[in-house]
Amino acid sequence: MKVRKAIIPAAGLGTRFLPATKAVPKEMIPLLDKPAIQYIVEEAVASGIEEILIITGRGKEAIENHFDISYELEDTLEKKEQKELLQIIQPLSHMANIYFVRQRMPKGLGHAVGCAKDFVGDEPFAVLLGDDLFHCSEKPCIKQLIEQYEKHEASVFALLNVAREHVDKYGVISGHKVDEGLYNIDDLVEKPSIAEAPSNLAVMGRYVFTPKIFEMIEMTPPEKGGEIQLTDAMKKLTAFEKMYGYIFNGKRYDTGYLLGYLEAVVDFALRREDIKDDFFALLKEKL
């Protein structure tokens, strides 16, 4: 079955980016002149996704406004004949069919994905997390996963080979290689100790799931802090269905913390035709 729908969970509190995220949703923090969530929506659209559900929460109205028509702004730009600016903002409200649902309490990523059950129905679907931005020159990361899903008709998520000293920050897999870059998942461990991690292969924020994941989320109890972890539900799914991890081709940026964010800003600026030469000269001068 074709993967037509995607979910973007964006209801988290973004505490690692305070105070910026006190009144501004983390997903609206810009990388260059575009809010982070726009890159995510563009990746989904470029991968053939037709319908997107963004999971929001209190204080996230700016995300809805960003993908809506801004009548006053468009009217003003039209009167001033600022066609270039109009061309930047007008497509935003037509990029895809974008819907919103509120997660009333931030009860974890698993719970956030569970909020999409009615929207998804009985279809496979993609999940894209806003903190993880990818630069994949050939094919968007989620497209690479969709292709693996279509080949194997089983849930699949992005994997990255991380340095051993960083495994304790991620969900880590134990599995066996079945094809180039493709691992059949036996087990998943969330933030293992460096000594106990079953591999160096860590789960990144792109997934394609069969709808069976919703049953697993419903069966997953919250942890001590009250959050339902997506990794726990994925672990359960391995007992019922095959699940794969795929080492994507491309570079991933973790924009959820300051240094990762800065690396993304620098790399994105160095790739952007209109500013890259001036920016490079500026960096050289600073260094």
Q: Point out which residues bind ligand UTP (CB under 6 A).
A: 9-17, 26, 55, 103, 106-109, 111-112, 129-131, 256
Minimum CB–partner distance for residue 227 and ligand UTP (Å):
6
Residue with tokens 């491309």: 250
**Residue in 145, 57, 45 with CA at minimum distance from that of residue 98:** 45
Residue closest to ligand UTP, measured at CB:
12
Neighbours of 44 (CB within 10 A): 25
What gap in Å lies between CA 172 and CA 153, rounded to an integer?
Answer: 22
Contacts of 237 (CB under 8 A, 6+ apart): 155, 209, 212, 213, 216, 243
Task: Give 36 or 185: the residue with its C-beta nearer to ligand UTP.
Answer: 36
**Degrees, nearest 5: CA angle 121-222-112:** 35
Task: Give 107 or 212: the residue with its C-beta nearer to ligand UTP.
Answer: 107
Minimum CB–partner distance for residue 71 and ligand UTP (Å):
28
Q: Determine contact, residues 191/171, Cβ cutoff 8 Å.
A: yes
Minimum CB–partner distance for residue 256 and ligand UTP (Å):
5
Task: Give 7 or 201: the residue with its C-beta nearer to ligand UTP.
Answer: 7
Minimum CB–partner distance for residue 70 and ligand UTP (Å):
24
Task: Give 40 or 154: the residue with its C-beta nearer to ligand UTP.
Answer: 40
Q: Determine contact, residues 124/135, Cβ cutoff 8 Å.
A: no
Task: Give 3 or 7: the residue with its C-beta nearer to ligand UTP.
Answer: 7
Task: Report H helices in 15-70.
Answer: 36-46, 61-66
Minimum CB–partner distance for residue 75 and ligand UTP (Å):
33
